[in-house]
Amino acid sequence: MRRAEEKLAKLPWDPAASRLLNTARKAGSATQRVMWLQRTASAWAKPLQEVAACRKGCDHCCHIPLTISKVEAEVIGKATGRSPQTPTTAVRLADLDHDTAAWQKAEAELQAAAPDTPCPFLVNHACSIYESRPLACRVLINLDDDELLCRKVDGVDVPVPYADAMVLKAHYVALQPAGVLADIRHFFPAEVAP
């Protein structure tokens, strides 16, 4: 964590992220707001990528639960030509009523319900929807020196020094108040071979 903090202290922040966030706040529809937030997240992450352990082919984060909104699922569906399904386990943001305990409980339930399979868009250790990837993927940045802490060890929860994207995540929730959240695998279940 100390090394991660030292890296962050030396980074110049991209002012484009603030401008993009303001555009997201003013956008007319939830879809537009989410798409502008995704651009904001990419601008926010750009300077972090210089010091991140994340590299193409490192796909641990593609094996952990990934909560996305229905709006993001629709954006992904449009980009891939694959229609999102109605999730079997989902949370409506309107039902959480800005209650931190309810949010934590809902997040734990979504993570517990996530299938123990890789992201359906992981192909040959790479993201097949990289340009359309969800906000959560754009901000999950390991600030350690290498990907060692990311390596999956069954039954062990390793504390990875991720960049703090709480402000972006809060906007993500606030800018789609009627949103429905579920794991990406519930919106896009694995396709069964004929």
Domain limits for position 131: 2-186
Residue 147 resides in a domain: yes
Q: Angle, nearest 10°, between helix axes 30-49 and 166-174? A: 170
Residue 192 resides in a domain: no
Rounded to an integer, what distance in angstroms lies between the CA atom of residue 162 and that of residue 84?
Answer: 29
Residue 84 resides in a domain: yes
Residue 68 resides in a domain: yes
Structural domain count of the chain: 1
Residue 191 resides in a domain: no
DSSP 150: G
Helix (H, G, I), strand (E, B) or coil at 180: strand
**Which residues, at least 6 apart from 93, have a Cβ–Cβ distance to it below 8 Å?**
173, 176, 177, 178, 179, 180, 181
Residue 153 resides in a domain: yes
Residue 106 resides in a domain: yes
- pLDDT per residue as tens, the chain (194 positions): 777 777 777 777 778 999 999 999 999 999 999 999 999 999 999 988 888 888 887 888 898 899 999 999 999 999 999 999 999 899 988 887 666 777 788 888 888 888 889 999 999 999 999 999 999 999 998 888 777 777 777 777 778 888 888 888 889 988 998 889 999 999 999 875 44
Rounded to an integer, what distance in angstroms lies between the CA atom of residue 177 and that of residue 61?
Answer: 26
Residue 144 resides in a domain: yes
